[in-house]
């Protein structure tokens, strides 16, 4: 457990630093260029997008150092899921400040927190299964995350602009697109189901490779 503490400390410091730094930049007006998209009503959305970027693209790289090498795969996954929950709890103070400024409804706020946890849980479960089965997950995950987050929404936008077909339903699985549209239900459902499926697929007694 002692070897995991530096990684945990670095994870939480990076997480809190990213969120507090974002709020300071958005509220402090310290940048030489004014961000026209930052308004009181969009502050919570801006913070949520930063949280999603961290959970989707930064959090997975902490997973190998946080996984338990001597525990069953499912036991290690449970620890990672707990870490994701602690990240969401640690983000509540700045998130509540931003939600108060933006007048976000309680239901929308809770759904946004659920989106963060589900995205983190999906990555944790995927990487845990990959470690347990000695798969090379990192590069493929990064490629898939980029495609889902940006390529699918952009492709849907191009197809709609050209009048080819309506691919909005495909863009809905992008957490960033869904957050921007205020409709994170589908990503929560899709990645929640995938996380449960991966959990069922993970070996119960196979140990994760060191």
Instruction: pLDDT band for 54, please (50, 70, 90 cuts).
Output: very high
Q: Token digits for 207?
A: 């140990």
Instruction: pLDDT band for 68, please (50, 70, 90 cuts).
Output: low
Positive or negative, the Cα torsion across 173, 177, 183, 188?
positive
Nearest Cα residue to 104 out of 96, 92, 115: 96
161-171 pLDDT per residue, tens:
777 777 777 78
Rg (CA), the chain: 18
Strand partners, 207: 72
166-195 pLDDT per residue, tens:
777 778 889 999 998 888 899 999 999 999
Positive or negative, the Cα torsion across 71, 77, 78, 79?
positive
Question: What is the average pLDDT value for the chain, to the nearest integer?
Answer: 82
pLDDT number for residue 2: 43
Q: What is the distance between the alpha carbons of residues 16 and 4, in angstroms, rounded to a whole number?
A: 19
Question: Is the pLDDT at 74 greater than 90, yes or no?
Answer: no
75-95 pLDDT per residue, tens:
677 888 889 999 999 999 999
């Amino acid at each position: 457990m002692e070897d995991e503490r530096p990684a945990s400390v670095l994870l939480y410091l990076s997480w809190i630093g990213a969120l507090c730094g974002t709020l300071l930049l958005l509220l402090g007006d310290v940048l030489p260029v004014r961000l026209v998209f930052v308004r009181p009503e969009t502050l919570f959305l801006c913070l949520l997008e930063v949280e999603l970027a961290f959970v989707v693209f930064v959090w997975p790289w902490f997973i190998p150092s946080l996984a338990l090498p001597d525990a069953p795969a499912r036991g290690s996954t449970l620890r990672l899921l707990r870490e994701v929950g602690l990240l969401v709890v640690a983000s509540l103070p700045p998130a509540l400040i931003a939600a108060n400024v933006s007048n976000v409804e309680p239901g929308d706020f809770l759904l946004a927190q659920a989106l963060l946890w589900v995205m983190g849980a999906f990555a944790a479960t995927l990487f845990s299964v990959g470690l347990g089965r000695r798969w090379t997950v990192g590069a493929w995950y990064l490629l898939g995350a980029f495609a889902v987050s940006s390529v699918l929404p952009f492709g849907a936008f191009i197809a709609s602009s050209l009048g080819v077909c309506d691919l909005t339903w495909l863009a809905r699985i992008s957490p960033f697109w869904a957050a921007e549209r205020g409709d994170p239900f589908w990503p929560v459902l899709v990645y929640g189901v995938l996380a449960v499926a991966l959990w069922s697929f993970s070996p119960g007694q196979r140990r994760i490779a060191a």
